Amino acid sequence: MPYSHFITRGYNNWTNGLYGYSWDMMVHSRSHQHVKITYKDGKTGDVGYLNPGVFTQSRRWKDHGDMLKQYATCLNELLPRYNITDPEIYFDIWVSINERFQQRIFDPRVDIVKADWSPFKPNSWLMPLLVDLSPWRTKFQEIEGSLDNQTEIVFIADFPGLHLENFVSEDLGNTSIHVLQGQVNVEVVAEKKNYTLQPGEQTKVPAGDYHKVYTVSEGPSCYMYVYVNTTEAALQENFTKLLELQERVRNGTETEPLPPELQPLMAAEDDEINATDPIVQLFLKRQRRMKEVKKRREAGTLERLERFAVKKYYTIRRGFLMTAIAMRNLVVGLPPLEQLTREVTYANMKAPLGDGKEDERLKDEVGHGEL
């Protein structure tokens, strides 16, 4: 029976029901574009920011109000050790569910330490899903389909009276904001300039710096970031040139001698390679990964079954060991930090066959900077 829809409503978020605590049915997919934790000293009023994962290995708190409340309570107890008195904790978490636009899931103006939460009533600081903007999803697909391979896009929706504070990575040398609905005010912090944008208007934002986007219309705003990863584009161009050079060397059509930094391109695939040029290092690393991916995809049934079994073994092993460590800590207290670090490292031991992520996009391999 769907009791969780009507009785334990404190666990409901944008999707009713305890999906976070039942079988992983892949009913909903989520992606997080922006997570910011702000603390405020209750005595001095000083404001600071925390690395989102500094005190936890879990990432599920980003989507679940009850976990967020627990995390805020823990931070409230831990931060006084760092001379922060009676800390207030604020979360600004942007989520896309089922490939919708990115929007806030929790109210960033609410101190979650003092916020009320009950398993038997709806979460009052959960922001509503902006379903009125759902018709834009078809338009999003049309816009994405019109872009070239080097241009990427992120769709944002925000509430009146709120703003997004964002940092554009230096890798993203050509970034602009395009307004689709509502009215926004873009503040470029370093330049101390403001730009008011209506639907259909756009403005560029500088790379390597902060900017703020205020929703100043009466209704929600919808806008998009359009950007090109100029660092990745240049890297891809270099990779193409190196691949062409490598093929000419191997088929004997290259007549010019290679400089020392390009000599590793002549090595056999199984040789131990010591490349000094960072671009050549990345190029050869990508080739090895592509070869491994191809080998995995062409593996036989027994090898695939063995890989699956080993991966599941390490997953179950980690769950058992981490549960045992947590129960021990609850009963007898925390051990010395060095001991706890060794235990957690042992529990997190990965399968020797890898985790099957060798075919991730190149931008993940070379450290792509997110918006």
Q: What is the mean pLDDT of residues 306-335?
A: 93
Q: Is 0.75 surpassed by the pTM of this model?
A: no
Flag whether pLDDT at 360 surpasses 50. Answer: no
Q: What is the mean pLDDT of residues 187-206?
A: 93
Taking the C-alpha atoms of residue 60 and residue 32, their distance in angstroms, rounded to an integer, is 11
Flag whether pLDDT at 229 surpasses 70. Answer: yes
Flag whether pLDDT at 371 surpasses 60. Answer: no
Distances (CA, A) of 286 to 49, 264, 268, 274, 332: 36, 14, 15, 15, 48
* pLDDT tens digits, one per residue of 52-103: 888 887 888 998 899 999 999 999 999 999 999 999 999 999 999 888 889 9
Flag whether pLDDT at 180 surpasses 80. Answer: yes
Position 181 scores a pLDDT of 92
Spell out the alpha helix ranges (H) of the chain: 65-78, 136-145, 230-251, 278-297, 301-332, 337-347, 362-365
Question: What confidence category does residue 286 fall into, taking pLDDT thresholds of 50, 70 and 90?
Answer: confident
Position 19 scores a pLDDT of 59
Return all residues near 33 (Cβ < 8 A) that are at least 6 apart.
94, 95, 96, 102, 154, 370, 371
Position 292 scores a pLDDT of 84
Flag whether pLDDT at 366 surpasses 50. Answer: no
Question: How many Cα atoms are found within 13 Å in the side-chain-facing hemisphere of 231?
Answer: 16
Count Cβ atoms below 10 Å from residue 118 Cβ, excluding itself: 12
Distances (CA, A) of 170 to 147, 205, 224: 21, 11, 19
Flag whether pLDDT at 41 surpasses 70. Answer: yes
Residue type, 62: K
Question: What confidence category does residue 49 fall into, taking pLDDT thresholds of 50, 70 and 90?
Answer: very high
Give the 3-state secondary structure of residue 223: strand
* pLDDT tens digits, one per residue of 248-278: 888 888 878 888 888 777 776 655 667 778 8
Question: What confidence category does residue 21 fall into, taking pLDDT thresholds of 50, 70 and 90?
Answer: low
Question: What confidence category does residue 368 fall into, taking pLDDT thresholds of 50, 70 and 90?
Answer: very low
Position 228 scores a pLDDT of 85
Burial 120-156 (b: 16+ CB within 10 A, else e): eeebebbbebbeebeebeeebeebeeeeeeeebebbb
Q: Are 122 and 10 in contact (CB under 8 A)?
A: yes
Question: How many Cα atoms are found within 13 Å in the side-chain-facing hemisphere of 248?
Answer: 13
The DSSP secondary-structure symbol of 358 reads T
Flag whether pLDDT at 138 surpasses 60. Answer: yes
Taking the C-alpha atoms of residue 120 and residue 6, their distance in angstroms, rounded to an integer, is 8
Flag whether pLDDT at 233 surpasses 70. Answer: yes
